[in-house]
Amino acid sequence: MIDSVDAAKVNPDTSQPWAELGLKNDEYESIKQILGRRPTSSELAMYSVMWSEHCSYKSSKVHLRQFGDKAPKTDALLVGIGENAGVVDIGAGWAVTFKVESHNHPSYVEPYQGAATGVGGIVRDIISMGARPIAVMDPLRFGPADAPDTRRVLPGVVAGIGGYGNCLGLPNIGGELVFDESYLGNPLVNALCIGSMKHEDIHLASAKGVGNLVVLYGARTGGDGIGGVSVLASETFDTDGPAKRPSVQVGDPFMEKLLIEATLEVLHAGLVEGIQDLGGAGISCATSELASNGEGGMHVYLDRVLLRDASLSPEEILMSESQERMCAVVTPEKIDKFMALCKKWDVEAVVIGEVTDTGRLVIEWHGEIIVDVPPRSVAHDGPVYERPFHRPSWQDALQADAPTPERLARPSTPEGIKQTLMDLISSPNLASKSWVTSQYDRYVMGNTVLAQPEDAGMIRIDEETGLGVAISTDCNSRFAKLDPYAGAQLALVESYRNISVAGAKPLAVTNCLNFGSPEDPEVMWQFAQATTGLADACLELGIPVTGGNVSFYNQTGDTPINPTPVVGVLGVIDDVDRRTPMAWDEDGDLIYILGETFDEFAGSEWAYLQGHLGGLPPKVNFPMERLLSEIMVAASRDGMITAAHDVSDGGVGVAITEMALRANKGARFWIPDNIEPFVFLFSESTARAIAVIARTEELRFTEMCAARGMSATRFGVVDSGLGADSGYPGQQVIVVDSLFTFTIDALREANEATLPALFGG
């Protein structure tokens, strides 16, 4: 029995499962008010998914507005917040679009498919802007590396990302892998995609032109992820673990590849008026968003949708999250050409409706009207909550518990310091990520210039001129727990610095804000602080937020994850040949530390290894970050530096180890005057980088730093001949004067053994 609009008028009092669908009583009442009657079951399905936290941003909207209100003036932004993805002008007629999204909950339920469809979803966001996807990146966070649940989830997630991305032929150029107790039972799987296009190829999601046809194309619609949006993404997991879940979406990367090629060809052939990908909330989302962004009305014949499972009800078809589907608006004159191109790519397509100017989204099912709603009320005018928030009662005590030498004993002997470095580089958070990244194709398409383990991923866009982009994502959620306002800023400045040390100029920001339940006022406070911090920081650095994603309800039971505002920064480099790698190369090159080191250990990797979290995170210094960025970009452009590396997790000690491992060549260091060795080597003060300078460029470089007020201290020299004198003849060694000597082989073994030992192979 189909619940039609007529039936809803005749039986106004039928009881409806609004609560089971995740709607609140007042939300249900407001749907009735909008419609002037009770919703049909199909309308209820649509509103419930579209008004879920995941689709409507109902708890975050009031805070996210700051990204627009405080946006710095820039000419670089061609398309801003609110579209599928922001578009950034990188010059020479090229534009780049990039976005990061979460797929946390699906990846916990079914790691392989959850992570794979996360990649698929973000790729479709990029193609729906008219861009060709050119690279992906995945910031990942799991519980402790040795926890059984991490062993269940991590290998599947990595295999899913690799499997899907490799099949699409997209290089995976970086990301993050972080372990922390707070993610046990709630891993974070964020997926980022970058696409490039010419300015004239930008497309938007709107259904323009009355009488134009609405085409659904790609994979058939099945029972995938029905209710996934409202049930999976917006409700906390109980502690029973992953059983009895709604059906999981399964991705088909080969279908997605056909969809990419078909979509780009119909877009470039000028056959499309508006386009939208189908992700969470499927057809409900695509039709209501296209209609409300365009002429305001649409008539859809839902029974025309091609199905994988003929027994699906209209409600299920509306809510299905089957992957690899797109929706396009095409004029009647061009529909034959459109269909022919789809056929060429072996992509099924069907006209499911047409654009109207009635101001209503009307959906028919075998001749009966089952949906008749104002599309804006579904897509854009959902509920908005000003959730109450307050500073957590424990925050002051946490901040007061600083890791002073009295509170947390520090190593003072050379042996102790040597052991500290060994402990850090072999800890899961700082160990080599090659167990993960070797499962990803990093160089397919032949345009990858830099990839993990470099500071930033870098991709060549224009093969003629060498124009390219760099991208990095970062977040230290321990900093964010200590102070969410500063934590979000620290994520931004680290990412900004990573881009700069590679030689690219930072241009734009995306984010993926992973938090606990917004119904918890303490979590909401963290969210409010983090968004304000990020918006203020973007203003300070003069780079705008282009878009992003919010993931709430990341918690197990009542315990939320550490606030995790993952920030991605995109930069542009005029010629990728001018990039700065992290590995030093020439004997005799001089190693400088730029910026000042303070005694800042709260939230650091060292403190984490001691099991301590407390105090105030490192201070953010925007003017110094900007200056450091300008110096790194100028030094790269003018050929003054041969290598550089950002100093962050694990401090200078870990940074020089990473450079040495990458170079496979030794160097000698000394501790600068007036600073304790332990503080110099392991503090995580911001606005610092290591720069390697050829002797011939030293004067020019130091004069530039001095003239601009940047502290630059020489503390090392590249030397491949230290082995014999230090008792390791024939070997490459790192010597830190009067503290320790390591062979690079020993460092490599410690750094590379950790993840294979935990996860096999």
Check if 612 is active-site: no
Of 251-259, 440-448, 601-609, 688-696, which part binds other proteins (CB under 8 A)?
251-259
Task: Report the alpha-carbon angle 470-472-474, nearest 5.
Answer: 165
Token output for 38: 């009770």
Neighbour tally for 700: CB within 10 Å: 15
Query: Can you tell me the distance from the alpha carbon of 503 to that of 640, in angstroms, rounded to the nearest whole number?
Result: 11
Binder of other proteins out of 189, 219, 317, 640 (CB under 8 A) = 219
The least distance separating other proteins from the CB of residue 227, rounded to whole angstroms, comes to 12
The residue among 249 and 546 lying less far from other proteins, judged by its C-beta, is: 249
Find the part of the chain contacting other proteins (CB under 8 A) among 48-56, 241-249, 425-433, 619-627: 241-249
Which backbone phi and psi does 377 adopt, to 5 degrees?
Answer: -65, -25
Q: CA angle at residue 314 from 313 to 319, to 5 degrees?
A: 100
Among 110, 176, 474, 752, binds other proteins (CB under 8 A): 110
Per CB under 8 A, 252 contacts other proteins? yes
AA identity, residue 745: D
Nearest approach in angstroms of CB 250 to other proteins is 4
Quote the DSSP letter at residue 675.
S
| Residue 283 in the binding site for other proteins (CB under 8 A) | no
Radius of gyration of the chain (CA): 27
> Alpha helix (H) ranges present in 51-140?
53-56, 61-69, 104-109, 111-127
Q: Is 245 in the site for other proteins (CB under 8 A)?
A: yes
159 near other proteins (CB under 8 A): no
- Work out how close the CB of 162 gets to other proteins at its nearest, in angstroms, rounded to a whole number: 16
The 3-class SS string of 148-172 reads: HHHHHHHHHHHHHHHHHHHHHCCCE
Paired tokens of 229: 């949006």
CA 22 to chain centre: 27
Q: Is 255 in the site for other proteins (CB under 8 A)?
A: yes
User: Closest Cα to residue 219, out of 246, 249, 252, 247?
Assistant: 252
Phi, psi of 77 (to 5 degrees): -90, 115
Query: In the bound complex, what is the minimum distance in angstroms from residue 750's beta carbon to other proteins?
Result: 34
- Which of 103, 105, 203, 612 is catalytic? The answer is 103
Listed ranges 238-246, 445-453, 456-464, 701-709: which one lies at the site for other proteins (CB under 8 A): 238-246
Residue span 65-104 as binding mask against other proteins, x where in contact by CB under 8 A, dash where not: ----------------------------------------
| The binder of other proteins chosen from 48, 60, 102, 113 (CB under 8 A) | 113
What's the closest the beta carbon of residue 255 comes to other proteins, in angstroms? 7
The residue within the footprint of other proteins, chosen from 144, 208, 210, 247 (CB under 8 A), is: 247
CB under 8 A: which stretch of 75-83, 109-117, 268-276, 532-540 binds other proteins? 109-117
Q: Is 254 in the site for other proteins (CB under 8 A)?
A: yes
Distance of alpha carbon 347 from alpha carbon 217, whole angstroms: 7
- For other proteins, give the closer residue by CB, 246 or 392: 246
Question: Judged by CB, which is closer to other proteins: 255, or 641?
Answer: 255
Stretch that binds other proteins, among 196-204, 244-252, 384-392, 472-480 (CB under 8 A): 244-252
Residue with smaller CB distance to other proteins, 45 or 504: 45
Q: Is residue 223 at the binding interface for other proteins, with CB under 8 A as the rule?
A: yes
- Write down the least CB distance from residue 323 to other proteins, Å: 7
- 103 or 478: CB nearest other proteins: 103
Look at the block and give the residue holding tokens 């590849």: 257
- Is the CB of residue 194 less than 8 Å from the CB of residue 134? yes
DSSP letter assigned to residue 247: P
Does residue 222 belong to the site contacting other proteins (CB under 8 A)? yes
Identify whether the C-beta of residue 534 lies closer than 8 Å to the C-beta of residue 543.
no
Q: Does 465 bind other proteins (CB under 8 A)?
A: no
Neighbours of 24 (CB within 10 A): 13
Q: Is the C-alpha dihedral spanning 387, 391, 392, 395 positive or negative? A: positive
Nearer to other proteins (CB atom), residue 224 or residue 454: 224
Total binding residues toward other proteins, as defined by CB under 8 A: 22
8 Å CB contact between 55 and 521: no
* 254 vs 443 by CB, closer to other proteins: 254
Q: Which of 54, 299, 612, 645 is catalytic?
A: 54
Kindly write down the DSSP assignment for every residue of 357-424, as one continuous string: SSS-EEEEETTEEEEEE-HHHHHTS-----------TTHHHHHH----TTTS----SHHHHHHHHHHH
Question: 731 with 744: CB under 8 angstroms?
Answer: yes
Shortest distance (Å) from residue 256 CB to other proteins: 10
- Which stretch in 185-193, 239-247, 429-437, 664-672 sits in contact with other proteins by CB under 8 A? 239-247
Q: Of 480-509, which residues contact other proteins (CB under 8 A)?
A: none
Q: For residue 269, give the DSSP letter.
A: T
Binding segment (CB under 8 A) for other proteins, from list 80-88, 107-115, 532-540, 706-714? 107-115
Q: Using the minimum distance from each CB to other proteins, give the nearer residue, 134 or 326.
A: 326
Applying CB under 8 A, does 150 fall inside the site for other proteins? Answer: no
Among 24, 198, 308, 708, binds other proteins (CB under 8 A): 308
Q: Are 123 and 133 in contact (CB under 8 A)?
A: yes
Segment 314 to 343, residues that bind other proteins, using CB under 8 A = 322-323
Q: Is 354 in the site for other proteins (CB under 8 A)?
A: no
441 binding other proteins? (CB under 8 A): no
DSSP string, 278-300: -BTBHHHHHHHHHHHHTTSEEEE
Can you tell me which residue has the tokens 């980022």? 192
Q: Which residues on adjacent β-strands are paired with residue 175?
A: 138
Single out the segment in contact with other proteins by CB under 8 A; choices: 231-239, 247-255, 384-392, 403-411. 247-255
Nearer to other proteins, 107 or 287 (CB): 107
* By CB under 8 A, residue 109 contacts other proteins: yes
263 binds other proteins (CB under 8 A): no
Q: For other proteins, which stretch binds (CB under 8 A), given 222-230, 370-378, 421-429, 675-683?
A: 222-230
Among 91, 144, 242, 453, binds other proteins (CB under 8 A): 242
What is the arrangement of strands in the sheet containing 172-179, beginning at the earlier edge strand?
A: 77-79, 86-91, 94-102, 188-198, 132-142, 172-179
The CA distance from 735 to 414, in Å, is 12
User: From CA 88, how far away is CA 92, in angstroms rounded?
Assistant: 12
Contacts of 522 (CB under 8 A, 6+ apart): 389, 390, 391, 392, 393, 560
Q: Which is nearer to other proteins, 124 or 481 (CB)?
A: 124
Can you tell me which of 43, 53, 149, 224 binds other proteins, judged by CB under 8 A?
A: 224
Rule CB under 8 A: is residue 746 a binding residue for other proteins?
A: no
- Torsion from C-alpha of 587, 589, 595, 601, nearest 10 degrees: 0
Cβ-contact 236, 322 below 8 angstroms: no
Are 381 and 57 contacting, i.e. CB atoms less than 8 angstroms apart? no
Among 235, 303, 309, 348, binds other proteins (CB under 8 A): 309
Is residue 248 a contact point for other proteins (CB under 8 A)?
Answer: yes
Q: Does 423 bind other proteins (CB under 8 A)?
A: no
Give the interface with other proteins as residue ranges (CB under 8 A): 109-110, 113, 219, 222-224, 242-243, 245, 247-252, 254-255, 308-309, 322-323
**Catalytic positions, please?**
54, 103
